[in-house]
């Protein structure tokens, strides 16, 4: 995705696209920098703690996947880029962006990567790559007619059946070998 110029105050948003699965905080600034902070809460009672962690209050006009997709489509259409966004091209682009995210871990041990995320510059680069992956995923879901939050919630439910706690806790074995 392109990189715009500009500066502005951070805006904190809350996305609750996964019923029963948790909450996702996304921090956005007008210069198109995204920082994803995932915090999962078992109930809405934990939302106040998330507000304190996010560093600001969360406005009532919190974006959803649908509203973010709408903003992204407006951005795309204003530039006449729809012609380049075949499903195949979007899927390829998502994987290229995912590879850029993966590149941040190249040649680093687990400990080095965990340390690197405390560096603001590294974290900003990671946020950029996460945002690119997320935005392409939104475009793919829109193009294919997939309700992404519903698909994710259904996948979590299927995984809960495949990986029952009593068989999979602390175990990395694939479900068909449990």
* Class of the CATH-defined domain 64-146: mainly alpha
- Sketch the domain layout of the chain as residue ranges: 1-62, 64-146
How many Å apart are CA 28 and CA 38, to the nearest integer? 14
Q: Show pLDDT as tens, one digit a residue, over the chain (178 residues).
A: 443 333 333 444 444 444 433 444 444 433 444 444 444 333 333 333 333 334 444 456 677 888 899 999 999 999 999 999 999 999 999 999 999 999 999 999 999 999 999 999 999 999 999 999 999 999 999 999 999 999 999 999 999 999 999 988 898 888 778 8
Phi, psi of 101 (to 5 degrees): -65, -45
Cα distance between the two ends of the chain: 41
pLDDT in tens, 2-41: 433 333 334 444 444 444 334 444 444 334 444 444 443 3
Inter-CA distances, 28 with 10, 33, 58, 92, Å: 6, 6, 12, 25
- pTM here is 0.64
Phi, psi of 25 (to 5 degrees): -100, 130
Average pLDDT score, the chain: 76
The neighbouring-strand residues paired with 36 are: 26
Helix residue ranges, H only, 55-147: 65-78, 87-103, 110-116, 120-144
CB 139 within 8 A of CB 72: yes
Q: Is 153 helix (H, G, I), strand (E, B) or coil?
A: helix
Instruction: Note whether 54 and 12 are within 8 A (CB).
Output: yes
Question: SS3 for 15?
Answer: strand
């Amino acid at each position: 995705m392109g990189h715009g110029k500009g500066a502005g105050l951070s805006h904190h948003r809350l996305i609750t696209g996964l019923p029963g699965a948790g909450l996702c905080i996304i921090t956005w600034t007008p210069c198109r920098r995204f920082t994803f902070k995932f915090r999962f809460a078992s109930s809405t009672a934990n939302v106040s703690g998330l507000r304190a962690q996010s560093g600001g209050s969360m406005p009532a006009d919190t974006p959803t996947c649908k509203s973010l997709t709408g903003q992204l489509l407006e951005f795309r259409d204003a530039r006449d880029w729809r012609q380049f966004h075949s499903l195949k091209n979007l899927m390829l682009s998502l994987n290229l962006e995912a590879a850029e995210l993966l590149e941040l871990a190249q040649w680093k041990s687990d400990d080095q990567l965990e340390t690197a995320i405390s560096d603001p510059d590294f974290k900003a680069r990671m946020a950029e790559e996460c945002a690119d992956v997320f935005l392409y995923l939104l475009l793919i879901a829109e193009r294919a007619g997939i309700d992404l939050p519903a698909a994710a919630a259904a996948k979590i439910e299927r995984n809960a059946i495949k990986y029952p706690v009593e068989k999979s806790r602390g175990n990395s074995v694939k479900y068909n070998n449990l």
